[in-house]
Structure 1
Amino acid sequence: MQPFRLGYVAQSLTLKLGASHTCRVANATPVRLLDLIAQNLAELEQILLFNEKNGIQVFRVGSSLIPLASHPVNKLSWWKTFGRDFDRIAEIARRSGQRLSMHPSPAGASLASARPEVRKAAEEELLYSTRVLDMLGQGPEARVVLHVGGAAPDRPTALDNAHRMLDALPDDARRRIAIEHDDRTWTAREVYPLALDHGLPFLADPLHNAVLPSDPVVSIPELFRMANKTWGALGLRPKHHLASQKPDGPRGAHSDYIDPKDYREAVAALEVPSDFMIEAKQKDLALFKLQRTRLEKRAA
Structure 2
Amino acid sequence: MKNLKGTMEGPSTYRLGYVANCLTLGVGASHTCRLAGATPERLEALTAQNLEELEQILLFNEAQRIEVFRIGSSLVPFASHPVNTLTWWKTFAKTFDHLARIVRRSGQRLSLHPSPAGASLSSRHPHVREAALRELRYGARVLDLLEAGPEARVVLHVGGAAPSREEALVAAHRFLDEMPDDLRNRITVEHDDKVWSAREVLPLAREHGVPMVGDNLHNAVLPSNPELSLKQLVREAAATWTALDLRPKFHLASQKKDGRAGAHSDFVDPADFRAMVAALELPADFMLEAKEKDRALFALRQLGEKPRRAKGQGAVAP
TM-score with structure 2 length normalisation? 0.92
Structure-to-structure mapping, 1:262-277, within 5 angstroms = 262-277=272-287
For 1:233, the equivalent position in structure 2 comes to 243
Q: Say whether the 8 Å CA contact 2:12–2:282 is kept in structure 1.
A: no
Equivalent-residue separation in structure 1 for 2:101 and 2:231 (angstroms) = 36
Deviation (angstroms), 1:25: 1.5
Distance 1:229 1:95 in 2: 28
- What pairs up with 1:211-222 in 2 under 5 angstroms? 211-222=221-232
Aligned to 1:115: 125
- Sequence identity (%): 65
- Structure 2 residue aligned with 1:189, among 191, 199, 210? 199
Rounded to whole Å, the distance in 1 between the matches of 2:176 and 2:296 is 35
List per-residue Cα deviations over 1:43-90 (Å, max 9, x = no partner). 000000000000000000000000000000001000000001001111
Corresponding residue for residue 90 of structure 1: 100
Query: Which residue is equivalent to 1:252?
Result: 262
Q: Report how far residue 223 of structure 1 moved.
A: 0.3
Kindly provide the CA deviation profile for residues 246-271 of structure 1, in whole angstroms up to 9, marking residues without a partner as x.
01101000000000000000000000
Q: Amino acid of the residue matched to residue 73 of structure 2?
A: S
Q: Which residue of 1 aligns with 2:31?
A: 21
Are 1:101 and 2:102 matched, yes or no?
Answer: no
SS of match in other structure, 1:214:
coil
Q: In the aligned structure 1, how far is the partner of 2:234 from the partner of 2:287?
A: 14
Cα distance in 2, alignment partners of residues 189 and 75 from structure 1: 41
Equivalents in 1 of 2:183, 2:32: separation in Å? 23
Partners of 1:246 and 1:181 in 2: CA distance: 19
Give unpaired runs (5+ residues) of structure 1.
none
Give the secondary-structure state (helix, strand or coil) at the position aligned to 2:306.
helix
1:176-209 alpha-carbon deviations (Å, 9 max, x no partner) = 1101000000000000000000000011001000
Structure 2 unmatched ranges of 5 or more: 1-10, 308-318
RMSD, aligned CA: 0.8
Are positions 1:281 and 2:291 aligned together?
A: yes
Pick one of 132, 143, 160 that aligns with 2:153: 143
Q: TM-score, normalised by structure 1?
A: 0.98
Match for 2:141 among 121, 131, 144?
131
Partner SS state of residue 7, structure 1: strand
Residue 293 of structure 1 and its aligned partner are, at CA, apart by: 1.5
Letter in 2 for 1:53: A
5 Å matches for 1:33-48? Answer: 33-48=43-58
Q: CA deviation at 1:168?
A: 1.0
Shift of 1:26: 1.0
Alignment correspondent of 2:216: 206
Cα distance in 1 for residues equivalent to 2:27 and 2:179: 34
Q: Give the aligned partner of residue 175 of structure 1.
A: 185
The aligned residue for residue 86 of structure 2 is 76
After TM superposition, the structure 1 = structure 2 runs for residues 42-61 of structure 1, keeping only pairs within 5 Å, are 42-61=52-71
Q: In structure 1, how many angstroms separate the alpha carbons of the residues matched to 2:90 and 2:229?
A: 47
Counterpart residue type for residue 277 of structure 2: V
Instruction: Check the 8 A contact 1:181/1:204 in 2, yes or no.
Output: yes
One-letter amino acid of the counterpart of residue 221, structure 1: K
Deviation at 1:294, TM superposition (A): 2.7
Q: What secondary structure is seen at the aligned counterpart in 2 of 1:217?
A: coil
Secondary structure of 1:146 counterpart: strand
Report how many aligned residue pairs link the two structures. 297
- Structure 1 residue 223 and structure 2 residue 242: aligned? no
1:64 aligns with 2:74: yes
Q: 1:169: how far off?
A: 1.4
Secondary structure, aligned partner of 1:104: coil
Per-residue deviation, 1:296: 2.8
The answer to whether the 8 Å contact 1:126/1:174 transfers is no
Tell me the CA shift for residue 137 of structure 1. Answer: 1.0
State the distance in 2 between where 1:295 and 1:112 align.
Answer: 46
**Farther off after superposition, 30-39 or 164-173:** 164-173
Q: State the SS of the aligned residue for 2:250.
A: strand
Separation (CA, whole Å) in 2 of partners of 1:206 and 1:295:
25
Q: Which residue of 1 aligns with 2:21?
A: 11
